[in-house]
Amino acid sequence: TAAAGAWSGAAPTCIKACPDPPAIQANGAPNVPAAGPYNFNAEVAYSCVATHALQGTTPNVCEDKNGVGTWKSAANTNVLCYITETYPVFKIYPKNR
């Protein structure tokens, strides 16, 4: 606000933010709020669907790269969800005679 030609209050500050975190290729997702901002040093963990297990490094961290927020693992190729169980496609039952 301005009073008598002078501004009052603290000056606004800028924060470094990252875009939405990279996704897992399939069968999983980052555990994040619905939308950012994702501030500098924010951590995002990943999880997989119930039939898959997490393999790789988590969490991912929002870092400062020359004043721009970027995720430490931009492509997130180091996190993978792999299947933990096998499910039969069909079952064969003996015929009653």
CATH of the domain at 43: 2.10.70.10
| pLDDT, one tens digit for every residue, the chain (97 residues) | 556 778 788 877 676 788 888 877 778 887 776 567 888 888 888 888 888 888 877 788 888 888 788 888 766 556 677 776 655 555 566 676 5
The reply to whether 22 falls in a domain is: yes
d(Cα 26, Cα 79) in Å, to the nearest integer?
A: 10
What's the farthest any 2 CA atoms get from each other in the chain? 102
Quote the tokens at residue 14.
Answer: 């800028």
Residue numbers of the domain that contains 34: 12-83
Within a domain: 40:
yes
Q: Where are the beta strands (DSSP E) in the chain?
A: 2-3, 6-7, 17-18, 28-31, 38-39, 43-48, 52-56, 60-65, 68-71, 79-83
Quote the pTM value: 0.58
